[in-house]
Amino acid sequence: MELWLLQDEDAHVQMRFRVLQVLHRERSAYQEIAVMDLGSMGRTLVLDDAIQVTERDAFVYHEMLVHVPLCAHPRPRRVLVVGGGDLGAVAEIVRHDEVERIDLVEIDARVVDLSRTYLPWAEAAARDPRLTIHYGDGFVFLQAEGPRYDVIVVDAPDPVGPGVVLFEAPFYEAVRRRLDEGGVMVTQSGSVWFQAELVTKVRRGLVEQFGRAWVYWAGVPSYSIGPWTFTGVSLGPDLSRPDPARAARLATRYYSPEVHRAAFELPPFLRERLEG
């Protein structure tokens, strides 16, 4: 008997992945968590039946989520990650020697525990001495008194259940309060083809709070048929312009200074949709 993991793009389109083995499955206090072997996609973290990260293409998503803001900021010393319990974002942040402090806020400790057990990059990232993991609600963390950050990376799940708040105006207001002078923030913002309303909503919400927002994209095959978007804001630097020397020093598989700049060149149909 074959087992397949089904991922709905919309009411009419579906992707499916052959499951070779379910390595772990449990119900945590917050969600259903599974780690699966998806064959050519490798080990895969699945939350509430939705793929979060695969061994095969995680590097694309995390490199573009992390290195774009960190290479655009002139001196990213303090970095906050909201979500990201798979530690993929942290694994990319630790490549930046100038970063002095990394705080990660994850609501579900079991996601971190299982990622450290099953995902190849997670254990080394978790052991970096600059990292402090806070277990709790990211929105509550940002609302509280605390340090300001040069870069905030929002590694958000889909906007359902507890993840909805990470796409709303009060969250963006809290982000702004905790950004230091010249700080930048980037969040994932969904599929170009199948979450167009979300992409537009995120950009508009951030424009209302910050005055300007940048949208860029990359291909992450396990997430969607077609490009995946990221949206960022800045209290200083232009997000589309990396520091070429720092960007070129990174040992990356997808990100480069050239890819950084090109990712912001959107086709007319998408630019019209965003600005309409």
Residues designated catalytic = 155
170 is annotated as contributing to ligand binding: no
106 is annotated as contributing to ligand binding: yes
123 is annotated as contributing to ligand binding: no
100 is annotated as contributing to ligand binding: no
Quick one: three-class SS letters along the chain? CCCEEEEECCCCCEEEEECCEEEEEEECCCCEEEEEECHHHCEEEEECCEEEEECCCHHHHHHHHHHHHHHHCCCCCEEEEEECCCCHHHHHHCCCCCCCEEEEEECCHHHHHHHHHHCCCHHHHHCCCCEEEEECCHHHHHHCCCCCEEEEEEECCCCCHHHHHHHCHHHHHHHHHHEEEEEEEEEEEEECCCCHHHHHHHHHHHHHHHCCCEEEEEECCCCCCCEEEEEEEECCCCCCCCCHHHHHHCCCCCCCHHHHHHCCCCCHHHHHHHHC
31 is annotated as contributing to ligand binding: yes
Cα-atom radius of gyration of the chain, to the nearest Å?
Answer: 18
Q: Binding site membership for S-methyl-5'-thioadenosine: which residues?
A: 31, 106, 137-138, 162
Q: Binding site membership for spermidine: which residues?
A: 62, 86
Q: Binding site membership: which residues?
A: 31, 62, 86, 106, 137-138, 162
